[in-house]
Structure 1
Amino acid sequence: MTIKNFWNRRNFLGSAGALAGMMLSARRLFGMRAVIPSPVEEKLTGFGATGNVYEELGVTTVINGQGTMTYLGGSLPRPEVAAVMALAAQHFVSIVELEQAAGKRIAELLKLPPDYDAIVTCGAAAGMQSGLSGILTGNNPKFIEQLPDLTGLKSEVIIQKSHRNGFDHQLRATGVKLIEVDSREDVKRAINSKTAMMHFSNFANAAGQIKVDEWVKLAHENQIPAFNDAAADTPPVSHLWDYVNMGYDLIAFSGGKAIRGPQCAGLLLGKKELIANALLNNSPHEDTLGRGMKIGKEEIVGMVKALECYLSEDHAALDKEWWRRLDSVSAEITRVPGVTTSFNVPDVANHVPHMHIDWDPRKISLAPHDAASALRKGKPSIVLGSSEDGLGMNSFMLKPGEEKIIAEHLVQLFKAHAV
């Protein structure tokens, strides 16, 4: 289809109308100055007519000082992402063809090596399952249909004991047995004819004896593919190609976290053959283990746009703003006698500024859990992390001005429980 035929007047006006609606919603969400005429908004009647769908359903919206948590909705998609998703919703396409085209564009954006490709998956966890499925089955239709029955297939995945976590359920769903190891010697003893893959949980890099660069070398020394679950490991932006350059055969990233793409989207990067086999094990293909992890045309297109935007951002300026927000909260709450703050940036996974809030129990009689609960139940509802030692927060998912609201409510809370 040529551009001339595609952009006829009717198609353009229909897409432009949807674009206007999505951009208008984005303007209201992010406080953007109106650039689209407002009459589009007046067409919405019934559910959503108030402009706050959550309020209409009786669901409480929250100020998110905890970060890109899936149970809070991950992140707020960029207005540009909402706009291209609206455009994508106007037409039918072959999903397989779209996945291949989107993967090619993603590989170009990330400047991946010639033997690497990508697909958009239904989150990083879906990428883990489909990626491993493709390693197990290859492109054999019989094997694809029989999963999680591993008769005739390799059936073991090696993982460091310290890297076990709730997300490895996606690996186990394929039918494999996870073989736990601690040391390089353990790995060598564990490798056998049934070994299908070596899996690395990137957020646990510091916890394991074998680090991220060593793990892939050890796998390749034994002709075994290596997978890296790097779901929450942007920023820094360079992680999007660092693990490819290390030689990992497959790498999964969340799309709806710091990249601010659709919440139900992720990236699976890897060797071309493995990416092709992963797609064969995923929706839209029927009778596959991944059929239930459907990714729509809108999410695929939205993920490409989100990545394009993320790569072009001024990351140094963003980091500076995140620090400024935390500093402003700290300046207000530490005026309350007994309250102190400290700061850190995790080495990996949510590599953004974090602030820990502590207080002297002799001056403020309030347990951290009760403090977090009071904030959550307040109006507006504020979500911060809590532990036995105090409260924790980051600022990279806050909307402009919300740091002032958090500071105000924390000051009120601490003063109300002053001894």
Structure 2
Amino acid sequence: MSIFEQYGCRKVINASGKMTALGASAVAPVVGDALSAAAKDYVDVSELLVAAGKVIASVTGAEDGCPTTGAAAGTAIAVASVIAGTNLSLIESIPHTNGVPNEIIIQKGHAIHFGASITQMISIGGGKVVEVGQANHVEKAHIAEAVCENTAALFYVKSHHAVQKGMQSIQTMIAIAKEKGIPLIIDAAAEEDLRKYIAMGADLVVYSGGKAIEGPTSGMICGRASLIEACRAQYHGVGRPMKIGKEGIIGFLTALQRYDERPDESEQQLERMKWLIEQLKDTPGVSGTILQDEAGRAIYRAQLAIDSKVTGKTAYDVIKELEAGNPAVYTRNHYANLGLINIDPRPLLAGQEEIIVARIKQVLAKGN
């Protein structure tokens, strides 16, 4: 029995991905041990924040870093840092920022919902959101012409949730930021390359600690030293209700330091998904294919097309029944309206693909 089952929660098989709603990642034993050890001791948290920044810098190639409770908190703190800096009066005024540059320019196709609204996170940090262009088409001029004396930063979202075509590139955003003398913040929450965007010239980059890094609920901001100092200063203001504890920081740092040493499991994950599709190939009304992640990462998911005319059930019906069981099976359902269900292999524990196959067959057998 899992620790969650002891409190009356059902067992969960996560075939959806590194999703906050499902607890993001199951951490490695060494990370769990670090969490436990930190929870049983004391530390000067201000010293720990600075020490954590050095570790973040060493891994990412940035000048400094700041740990956070997650990428959403990182977004709010990063925005607050470019508006308030280390000025205590301004820090204490966030999110009320009239009278100082507070506009954050974002491409309209990047004004996403990731479980919450990215524009709301920017607003929490005191930013006045300025969306430019159209949802499927943004010109460089849309961004450059929006910059004015009230502009605090440009904001770029690198995510599968964002519109993937018709948007201006990171390189274009960096060029505009340099030309205009304003910072560029990149939300790279689930991205796997922890060095790329700093090396490209971004001023602040926000990551989740519980997704690709496979740490506990946590995150980080990395970037220019002066801006990171301002990020830490926000813990005296808007960052206070979203502060990360000692155990979260140590768990995150442990996961971060082992990040480059983790084995590449993408080939094994691909083979597991090929096996899953093979097991379902003779199931009436189900056809499977392998689909690479929308953002180009080395993630290969099984995509199952449900033909409701044959199965008597829509993809939504199948999803509902999978989630209602015990164990509850959660799949990736961004395209369920098209009759598609995706299986993400990354969070699956050993042998769980076998349970998923059996459950899908069971659900569909009840419809015939």
Tell me the TM-score normalized by structure 1: 0.81
Aligned equivalent of 1:74, options 13, 24, 27 = 24
The one-character-per-residue Cα deviations of 1:129-176 (angstroms, maximum 9, x if unpaired) are: 111111111111111112122133112111101110212211111332
SS at match of 1:300: helix
The structure that has the greater radius of gyration is 1
User: Are the counterparts in 1 of residues 11 and 326 from structure 2 also a CA contact under 8 Å?
Assistant: no
Aligned equivalent of 2:348, options 391, 398, 407 = 398
Question: Does 2:149 correspond to 1:196?
Answer: no
What amino acid sits opposite 2:227 in the alignment? L
User: Are the counterparts in 2 of residues 372 and 385 from structure 1 also a CA contact under 8 Å?
Assistant: no
User: Are the counterparts in 2 of residues 205 and 212 from structure 1 also a CA contact under 8 Å?
Assistant: no
Question: Which residue does 1:186 correspond to in 2?
Answer: 142
TM-fit CA distance, 1:208: 4.2
Question: Does 2:4 correspond to 1:54?
Answer: yes
Question: Which residue does 1:247 correspond to in 2?
Answer: 201
What amino acid sits opposite 2:4 in the alignment? Y
Question: Which residue does 1:338 correspond to in 2?
Answer: 285
Aligned equivalent of 1:256, options 182, 204, 210 = 210
The one-character-per-residue Cα deviations of 1:152-202 (angstroms, maximum 9, x if unpaired) are: 311211110111021221111133221111221112221110000000011
Question: Which residue does 1:124 correspond to in 2?
Answer: 71
Note the residue ranges of structure 2 that are not aligned, 5 or more in a row: 134-138
TM-fit CA distance, 1:123: 0.3
State the 4+ residue runs in structure 1 displaced beyond 6 angstroms.
none
What amino acid sits opposite 1:393 in the alignment? I
Which stretch has the larger CA shift, 361-370 or 242-251? 361-370
Note the residue ranges of structure 1 that are not aligned, 5 or more in a row: 1-50
Quick one: percent identity of the two aligned structures?
Answer: 30
Aligned equivalent of 2:226, options 266, 273, 276 = 273
What is the CA–CA distance in structure 2 between the aligned matches of 1:98 and 1:76, rounded to whole Å? 24
What is the CA–CA distance in structure 2 between the aligned matches of 1:151 and 1:370, rounded to whole Å? 49
The one-character-per-residue Cα deviations of 1:320-367 (angstroms, maximum 9, x if unpaired) are: 111121111111111213321112112428651112111333432111
Question: Does 2:171 correspond to 1:213?
Answer: yes
Question: Which residue does 2:119 correspond to in 1?
Answer: 168
What is the CA–CA distance in structure 1 between the aligned matches of 2:246 and 2:37, rounded to whole Å? 10
Question: Which residue does 1:302 correspond to in 2?
Answer: 251
User: Are the counterparts in 1 of residues 287 and 304 from structure 2 also a CA contact under 8 Å?
Assistant: yes
User: Are the counterparts in 1 of residues 188 and 205 from structure 2 also a CA contact under 8 Å?
Assistant: yes
TM-fit CA distance, 1:290: 1.1
Report the count of equivalent residues.
354
What is the CA–CA distance in structure 2 between the aligned matches of 1:126 and 1:350, rounded to whole Å? 24
RMSD over aligned CA atoms reads 1.6
Question: Does 2:265 correspond to 1:311?
Answer: no
What amino acid sits opposite 1:370 in the alignment? D
What is the CA–CA distance in structure 2 between the aligned matches of 1:262 and 1:275, rounded to whole Å? 22
The 5 A counterparts of 1:343-382 are 343-348=290-295, 351-382=298-329
The one-character-per-residue Cα deviations of 1:52-73 (angstroms, maximum 9, x if unpaired) are: 3322321112101111111111
User: Are the counterparts in 2 of residues 163 and 207 from structure 1 also a CA contact under 8 Å?
Assistant: no
TM-fit CA distance, 1:413: 2.2
SS at match of 2:101: coil
User: Are the counterparts in 2 of residues 163 and 208 from structure 1 also a CA contact under 8 Å?
Assistant: no
User: Are the counterparts in 1 of residues 104 and 155 from structure 2 also a CA contact under 8 Å?
Assistant: yes
The one-character-per-residue Cα deviations of 1:271-320 (angstroms, maximum 9, x if unpaired) are: 000001000002xx3xx1110001011111111110122210122xx001
What is the CA–CA distance in structure 2 between the aligned matches of 1:107 and 1:244, rounded to whole Å? 10
What is the CA–CA distance in structure 2 between the aligned matches of 1:151 and 1:64, rounded to whole Å? 44
What amino acid sits opposite 2:156 in the alignment? F
What is the CA–CA distance in structure 2 between the aligned matches of 1:309 and 1:152, rounded to whole Å? 44
SS at match of 1:240: coil
User: Are the counterparts in 2 of residues 88 and 298 from structure 1 also a CA contact under 8 Å?
Assistant: yes
What is the CA–CA distance in structure 2 between the aligned matches of 1:192 and 1:135, rounded to whole Å? 15
What is the CA–CA distance in structure 1 between the aligned matches of 2:166 and 2:25, rounded to whole Å? 29
Aligned equivalent of 1:226, options 171, 175, 184 = 184
User: Are the counterparts in 2 of residues 225 and 248 from structure 1 also a CA contact under 8 Å?
Assistant: yes
Flag the structure with more relative contact order, 1 or 2, with Cα contacts below 8 A and sequence separation at least 6: 2
What is the CA–CA distance in structure 1 between the aligned matches of 2:305 and 2:151, rounded to whole Å? 47
What is the CA–CA distance in structure 1 between the aligned matches of 2:212 and 2:96, rounded to whole Å? 36
What amino acid sits opposite 1:58 in the alignment? G
What amino acid sits opposite 2:164 in the alignment? A
User: Are the counterparts in 1 of residues 95 and 123 from structure 2 also a CA contact under 8 Å?
Assistant: no
